[in-house]
Structure 1
Amino acid sequence: MSRGGAHARPFPYVSYLRVYEPLDAFSDAQQLVILQQRSRGRGLTESMEQEQSLRRAMRPVSDPFPHHEPELVRVTHFPGVNGATAPYYCPNQLAVRTTLAAESLDQSLRGPLIDVLVPEVAREAHQARLDPDTFADSVAKLHTRSATWGVPFAWFALIHEDDLTEVVEDDGRVTTVRVTARIGDCIDRGRRSVAQLAIGAPEMDLLDELTEIVEWLEVFRRDAVVEVDYGPVADRVFPDDSPMDVRLGIESLAEADMMGAAASYRRLASRWIPIRQLARSS
């Protein structure tokens, strides 16, 4: 369990699914960026990211895109196959992620609101700042996914309650929980869940979500590690049995045990529906 006072409460709740790779998985240019930041503590990186986000949100003219901000890199340490703990790295890829987020917002919103939130002039300026070559590579190998107002159930299918778990606290409040596992284990668990859902509940959206996540994980090297970062929502749910409940629910569906599946869903719903309802609260 670690402690850090650099975590302010963000808004809304955001959780992350990240893939970390060894240094030699990155290009020479990326390795130079990583080596400049590898000694920085995780808490400081989180604070820097939040400060950058607040600066973008407080601009006098609406423009959510980064302007030549330095690429941040997160570092995690995980036991390798030989038992020795080694560093793994996850680039933030903010420029690419904001581009994809704006495209997603454009598909979900219509009318003048999208122009207020993401003005066309801001989009054009952001596109002019992007390097087409590195942008294409980053889209093909995006290291970070995010979700608001709760952790997606598909993410829980990748992790196990026995995986390496870090609880970060500040003044008695849980600021986040990070669960880390080898990518090969996550892929195996995801594939198993996909096979079970294909048998027991082929109509569930969870099947499509898990299938897509497994395909995404398969892009990375097999010596990578995967991290589920709850973010500040952890303070409302930790200790959390969601990985076990998702696993038991999927197993029950595969075995046509509807009572078992319903019981697992009730436990998950009681934990997560109140949090997701916060997105619609005034």
Structure 2
Amino acid sequence: MAAGGATARRRLPPTAHLRVFEPLRAFDEREQLLLQQLRPEPRAEAEERLAREALRRVLRTVSDPYPPAGVEHYRVLHYPGHHAATTPFYCPDQLSTRATLAAEQLDRLMRPQLLSLVIPEPARAANAERLDSDEFADDLAHLHTRTSVWGVPLEWFVAVHEDDHAELDEDGDTLVGVRLSAPLVQVLERVRLAAASLAVNAPEMDLLDDLTGLAEWLQTFHDDSVVELDYGLLAEFVWPDESPQDLRLGIESLREGDMLGAAAAYRRLTNRWAAVRHRARSN
């Protein structure tokens, strides 16, 4: 359980992340050397520092939310193994690529007049100028982080169980983050079993396509990786969260032909997140 100020994080929209942390041997020699020289930093402090940098980009006088060119940042997950020892796993932030993808998504969702206020054209041109096309293509093929604002996609709940390894961040009496993690091989097995069950019992559900896409993404990483669901500030609204259990029970009920049980599990899950959706609309 980590403690520390979370002022910057609490000024950003509640955002969940699904991340894949790979072992050191999954990286090339240059990256391995860099990772071995990383200064130890508590995870809560790292998240707060990254949030401060994000706020500076958003609030600077000359509007430009894109990150500057610089050294890659790596999150470090110390996952417990045998005999209570932990092993470090690494997740590159790939911020430049993710910021570019987010801007492209806004381009499809926002009116041009409003988009130009959020992301001025000179800022987009400058980002395109400094973007390394080879690095961008490599990141797209091996993107370690998926992001969701004001909610958690259903398929992410299949990836984790409520009794997986958990890390909690608190700021005084306020919960500002919860992270659940599990080995990638275990997560892949969960996702594949859920997808196979839905393919037989509920092939019309959108969740089946989402699980298939999730499995395809996870298969691009090293077998010895670890998958992490980071609730971020959403943890304050829902933790302790029984959503993974409810979704699992719902899928099991469908397999057993128990439509009432499946409906009850889905109702519990959606009711739990209704308050979060209301907060999102009010913001």
Residues 1:99 and 2:107 aligned together: no
- 1:244-255 to structure 2, matched below 5 A, reads 244-255=245-256
- What are the within-5 Å matches in structure 2 for residues 96-135 of structure 1? 96-135=97-136
Indicate yes or no: 2:146 matched with 1:145. yes
When the two structures are aligned, how many residues end up with a matched partner?
Answer: 281
Alpha-carbon distance in structure 1 between the residues aligned to 2:39 and 2:261: 46
* 8 Å Cα contact 2:44-2:169 kept in structure 1: no
**Of 23-32 and 76-85, the range deviating more from structure 2:** 76-85
Given that 1:7 and 1:175 are in contact with CA atoms closer than 8 Å, whether structure 2 keeps it comes out as yes
Which residues of 2 match residues 252-267 of structure 1 at below 5 A? 252-267=253-268
Confirm whether residue 215 of structure 1 aligns to residue 221 of structure 2. Answer: no
**Tell me, which stretches of 5 or more residues in structure 1 are unaligned?**
none
Q: Point out the more displaced range, 51-60 or 105-114.
A: 105-114
Matching residue's letter, 1:6: G
Q: Separation in 1 of the partners of 2:154 and 2:126?
A: 36
Partner AA of 1:31 in structure 2: Q
- Residue 182 of structure 1 corresponds to 183
| Offset of residue 38 of structure 1 | 4.8
Gaps of 5+ in 2: none
Q: 2:214 and 2:87 mapped to 1: Cα distance?
A: 25
- Matched with 2:3 is 4
Q: CA RMSD in A?
A: 1.7
Separation in structure 2 between the aligned mates of residue 110 and residue 145 of structure 1, nearest angstrom: 25
SS at match of 2:16: strand
CA apart distance, 1:104? 1.2
User: In the alignment, what sits opposite 1:65?
Assistant: 66
After TM superposition, give the deviation of residue 224 of structure 1 in Å: 0.2
Query: Is the 2:76–2:88 contact (alpha carbons within 8 Å) kept by the matching residues of 1?
Result: yes
Instruction: Say which SS state the counterpart of residue 257 (structure 2) adopts.
Output: coil
Matched residue SS, 1:157: helix
The equivalent residue for 1:26 is 27
Q: Structure 1 counterpart of 2:6, which letter?
A: H
Q: Could you tell me how far apart the structure 1 residues matched to 2:261 and 2:40 are?
A: 47
Structure 2 equivalent of residue 164 of structure 1: 165
The separation in 1 between residues aligned to 2:13 and 2:226, in whole angstroms, is 27
SS in 2 for 1:114: helix
Q: Percent identity?
A: 50
Q: Is 1:45 aligned with 2:46? A: yes
Q: Is 1:243 matched up with 2:244?
A: yes
Equivalent residues of 1:10, 1:232 under 8 A apart: no
1:65 partner SS: coil
Look up the SS of the partner of 2:194 in the other structure: helix
Q: Deviations over 1:19-49 (max 9, x none)?
A: 0011121123323432332512212211211
TM-score normalised by the chain length of structure 2: 0.94
CA distance in 1: counterparts of 2:34 and 2:132, whole angstroms:
16
TM-score by length of 1: 0.94
State the match for 1:270 in structure 2. Answer: 271
Contact 1:45 1:72 in 2 (8 A): no
Deviation at 1:135, TM superposition (A): 1.6
Please give the per-residue CA displacement for 1:198-251, whole angstroms capped at 9, x wherever unaligned.
122222221111111111000001100000011111111111111100101111
Displacement after TM superposition at 1:95 (Å) = 0.2
Inter-partner Cα distance in structure 1 for 2:207 and 2:275:
20
Task: After superposing the two structures, state which structure 1 stretch, 47-56 or 119-128, moved more.
Answer: 119-128
CA distance in 1 between partners of 2:16 and 2:77 (Å): 17
